Amino acid sequence: MCWKLPIRTPSLNSPTTSIKLINQVNQSNSIKFTYAQEKDGTTPFLDTFIVRKSDATVKLLVYRKPNAHRPLSSHHPLHQKLDVIRTLFDRKNNIVTEEEDKIQEEQKIKDALKT
């Protein structure tokens, strides 16, 4: 199934219409889509956290679910543990847009890996 919409579809600007479209797509497809509304200037999107700043620009942070990572003391093979660490740092370097946020993200990674 293919959904084609004109680039400028004014009716999709309302959250209600977007939710109706998502519900319609979900009824006819095995892939389920979700919808997250902006809350306090932030929106999770895939593995990013979009933050609207006061000057109307946005910055990106890493979005993570709570307790998403296994501790390094788990019984997983070493190469898998090293891949997790590499991936976390790759996400920090490729997603986070501001240097001060990269420092904070690195500290979060270190704290998560200590447990």
CA distance 62 to 47: 6
Distance of alpha carbon 95 from alpha carbon 88, whole angstroms: 10
Which pLDDT tens digit goes with each residue over 23-69?
777 777 677 777 777 788 888 888 888 898 888 888 999 988 766 66
Query: For the chain, first and last CA: distance in Å?
Result: 45
Query: Which pairs with CB-CB distance under 8 Å and at least 24 residues apart come from 33-39?
Result: none
Domain locations in the chain as residue ranges: 11-36
Whole-model pTM over 0.75: no
- Which phi and psi angles does 65 have, rounded to 5°? -80, 150
pLDDT at 115: 63
